[in-house]
Amino acid sequence: MSRGILIGIAGGSASGKTLVTRRIIEAIGTRRVALMKQDSYYRDLSGMSEEERARQNFDHPDAFDLPLLHGHLTVLLDGGYVDEPVYDFTHHCRLQETTRVGGASVVVLEGILILADAALRELMDIKVYVETEPDIRLVRRIRRDVEERNRTVASVLHQYEHSVRPMHLQFVEPSKRYADVIIPEGGYNRVAVDLLKTKILAVLMQKWPDEFTHGGARDDG
């Protein structure tokens, strides 16, 4: 079996990576795609008190278990299966449960810092950076963290000021120089996303002409 294809989608917090990812998966077909999120690979902090966990810098590359993520991606690209961790964003720790992922021709990896790591970049066939204005990202982050992660507005703003913004400027923003494609405004930029989908499907059809066709690439069968 030939090696799978890895598409990396990076960008700042709440930049619109997930919507771009969704558009790509819709174009390829969910049956053919294994979706991986860097957020699932935060280091397990269960040995710390909740107060200590809350003080950690979750926007620095060291916050992630990158060797585990790299190892899992290698297995997936070779056609295998992995048990992706499940992370609890409210209590800042991994859960006992995992998610079984694998058996797909295409792996899509989404995360703020995936282009900042050379080992991860080396695995990627297509590298995408989603770029959105800081004020829009902040509003989206407040809404998401309050509604989905049980945070207060004050805690979101404190984290943004002390870690999210500084780490974005130090690590995330500079990593866009490694991208093959930069998409302003994320999934709402229909023209850019359509061009990206066309490029991805062309790569897939070249590698697997019998599986990916103009008429069948979107068919999950």
Residue 193, domain CATH = 3.40.50.300
Average pLDDT over residues 30-59: 90
Q: Decide if 82 contacts 102 (C-beta within 8 A).
A: yes
Residue listed under structure tokens 């790591």: 117
Question: Does residue 183 lie within any of the structural domains?
Answer: yes
On whether residue 191 sits in a domain, the answer given is yes
**Total number of domains constituting the chain:** 1
pTM of the model: 0.88
Q: Which two structure tokens, joined as six digits, stand for 201?
A: 């499907």
Residue 221 belongs to some domain of the structure: no
Say if 25 falls within a structural domain. Answer: yes
Q: Judge whether 53 lies within some domain.
A: yes
Residue 216 has pLDDT above 90, yes or no: no
Structural domain span for residue 161: 5-207
Residue 219 falls inside a structural domain:
no
How large is the average pLDDT for residues 36-64? Answer: 91
Q: What is the pLDDT of residues 122-165, one digit of tens each?
A: 999 999 999 999 999 999 999 999 998 888 999 999 999 999 99
Nearest one of 178, 220, 166, 174 to 25, comparing CA atoms = 220
Question: Is it the case that residue 80 has pLDDT exceeding 70?
Answer: yes
Query: Is 148 part of a structural domain of the chain?
Result: yes
Band of pLDDT at residue 1, cut at 50, 70 and 90: low
Dihedral-angle region of residue 157 (phi above 0 means left; psi in -120 to 50 means alpha; beta otherwise)? alpha
Contact yes or no for 128/10 (Cβ under 8 A): yes
State the average pLDDT over residues 109-115.
Answer: 97
Is the separation of the CB atoms in 89 and 54 below 8 Å? no
Please answer whether residues 113 and 175 qualify as being in contact, where contact means their C-beta atoms are separated by less than 8 angstroms: yes
pLDDT at 55: 85
Question: 3 near 77, Cβ under 8 Å?
Answer: yes
Q: Which of 82-86, 133-137, 188-192 has the lowest mean pLDDT?
A: 188-192
Q: Do 103 and 122 meet the contact criterion of CB atoms below 8 Å apart? A: no
- Evaluate whether residue 155 is within a structural domain: yes
